[in-house]
Amino acid sequence: MNPLLSRLQPYPFERLRQLFASVTPPAHLSPISLGMGEPRHATPAFIKDALVAGLGGLASYPATAGEPRLREAFTGWIARRYGLALDPATQVLPVNGSREALFAFAQTTIDPTREGAVVVCPNPFYQIYEGAALLSGATPYYAPSDPARNFAVDWDSVPEAVWQRTQLLFVCSPGNPTGAVMPLPEWEKLFALSDRHGFVIASDECYSEIYFRDEPPLGGLEAAARLGRSDFKNLVSFTSLSKRSNVPGLRSGFVAGDAALLKAYLLYRTYHGSAMGPAVQAASIAAWNDEQHVIDNRAQYRQKFAQVTPLLERVMPVSLPDAGFYLWAQVPEHLGMSDTDFARQLLAQYNVTVLPGSYLAREAHGANPGAQRVRMALVAETAECLEAAQRIVQFIQSPSP
Ligand SMILES: Cc1ncc(COP(=O)(O)O)c(C=O)c1O
């Protein structure tokens, strides 16, 4: 067996199952889950129709690089969203969702024969970054997010000796779970570090289309172009249809950026066998070419967050994020509970599931930056999220009825 497998950590939902194993939630209250970050708005009918209409291609193997029309759909979207002109032949590739793509990218970029390979990632973070780093033979380094600066990652806290060994940096903007969007000066700092130390930046942008400010989140490629880095040297961004178009089951996204990196990545993917099926390609083309459903989806999230956030703000430290579909709330100090106690008792008394923040982060440099926080995914319909928020308010106001 690959000995590196033993270094993988249990997934947060596995830990949640164990935490809840002995809990019997009250039967008179319907269960409401704010736990999983899985989109639950309806999939637009035209995407399903395109999927069915694309079934004709099943009799042949698809190319790993995708059909030209698919690649043009990616670059067309990038042009409309970020005002950038990318070459569909060399600067984009289809992926089967950003999860496998992020994982496979580490396997492509890390050189395990170089002593002491490091992958830097934010803390809290999406657990795939850590697994991708470990299975590539690298060691993850966790850079904490700073609640005092809107959860911006404290890149300055990473020692120079760590940057020197860094081969890959994961950034997540908008962030999961914090919702924080990286501004241009932060990108400038990371590009300078990448130039100095030669590491690659993987920019996870799967929440880019769900935002609450007027201005859409700055993308990594957009930041690079604004700073005169038109070849996107050492930068690849990861974009997904899952959240944008409510199709997590389709498994569809794309990567874009540095053509030299994508050439190596395509070679890796060809061997790994991760071509996108023709029907999924057809549905993806339809989804990327339409923006109205994305505008409507965003409006639904905005309405929901506008109603739910003020309710919770009255009883716990929490605020509207820049983007994403999570509230990253602090457990009120006066309760004297850990984040895991809070989640357990909330389920036991009100049948509402939230995810303890410490499960989404690692203890590193003497602290777990997710401790005393909980993540609430507002993915269900507004009425259900409001009901959950009302129960949480009651729970905080009288935690032991
Ligand atoms: C930060 C982050 N990146 C990537 C993904 C993977 O999304 P997908 O594989 O559906 O594109 C998720 C899913 O929850 C996520 O939260």
Q: Is 98 in the pocket of ligand 1 (CB under 6 A)?
A: yes
Q: Is 172 in the pocket of ligand 1 (CB under 6 A)?
A: yes
Q: Which residues contact 108 (CB under 8 A, 6 or more apart)?
A: 261, 264, 265, 268
* Cβ 155 vs Cβ 147: under 8 Å: no
Q: Is 375 in the pocket of ligand 1 (CB under 6 A)?
A: no
- The single residue listed with the structure tokens 């099926």 is 277
Give tens-digit pLDDT for 25-42: 999 999 999 999 999 999
Amino acid, single-letter form, for residue 183 = P
Q: Is 379 in the pocket of ligand 1 (CB under 6 A)?
A: no
Q: Is 35 in the pocket of ligand 1 (CB under 6 A)?
A: no
* Spatial separation of the C-alpha atoms in residues 245 and 302, rounded to whole Å: 15
Query: So what's the pLDDT on residue 398?
Result: 87
Which atom of ligand 1 lies at the shortest distance from residue 251's CA?
10
Q: 326-356 burial, b for 16+ CB within 10 Å, e for fewer?
A: bbbbebbeeeebebbebbbbbbebbbbbbbb
DSSP state, 19?
H
Query: So what's the pLDDT on residue 401?
Result: 56
Low pLDDT (below 70) residues in the chain? 401
Query: So what's the pLDDT on residue 399?
Result: 76
Query: So what's the pLDDT on residue 400?
Result: 73
Query: So what's the pLDDT on residue 186?
Result: 97
Give tens-digit pLDDT for 64-105: 999 999 999 999 999 999 999 999 999 999 999 999 999 999
Question: Which residue is closest in CA terms to ligand 1's atom 2?
Answer: 126
pTM of the model: 0.97
* Spatial separation of the C-alpha atoms in residues 74 and 284, rounded to whole Å: 9
